[in-house]
Amino acid sequence: MKNSDRVLIGMGLGIIVGGVAGYFLASDEGKIARKKAKAQFQKYNDQLQTTIKEKSEVMAEKFDEASVKAKSWVDDVSSTLKSKVSSTSDTAENKIDDAQDSFKAGVEKARRDIKEKLRTIDEVVEG
């Protein structure tokens, strides 16, 4: 069969099916079927809108919960970091204070040792 024959047969069948469908939809039974289809479509549309609204409310609640949890986590981490920084700062200050005290003690010991050696030298010189 040639391609042109197939095209003509396909067009002919399309015209027949379209004519039958048009006649059916224009008839009283077709009008009833269209009304039922429209009502069913509206029912599905309403269900879809309700489902979308419910799901968007659930998603908004989940987003709010996640936001609160994230804020809490950030606050906890921030508090922990502040505590660690404060602790580290206190430790560093203590180490500095200890080093200053050790330095002062060392200077005092060196002074005592120098004074002692100076007395020894004075005794030897006077002696």
Render 59-97 in DSSP notation, one character per residue: HHHHHHHHHHHHHHHHHHHHHHHHHHHHHHHHHHHHHHH
Distance between CA 106 and CA 112 in Å, rounded? 10
Domain boundaries, the chain: 3-126
For position 1, what pLDDT does the model report?
Answer: 67
Residue 2: C-alpha distances to residues 8, 10, 16 (Å): 10, 12, 21
For position 40, what pLDDT does the model report?
Answer: 93
**pTM of the predicted protein model:** 0.40
Distance between CA 69 and CA 66 in Å, rounded? 5
Q: Which phi and psi (to 5°) does residue 117 adopt? A: -70, -35
pLDDT in tens, 31-66: 888 888 889 999 999 999 998 888 888 888 888 888
**Which residue positions in the chain have pLDDT lower than 70?**
1, 127
For position 46, what pLDDT does the model report?
Answer: 92
For position 47, what pLDDT does the model report?
Answer: 93
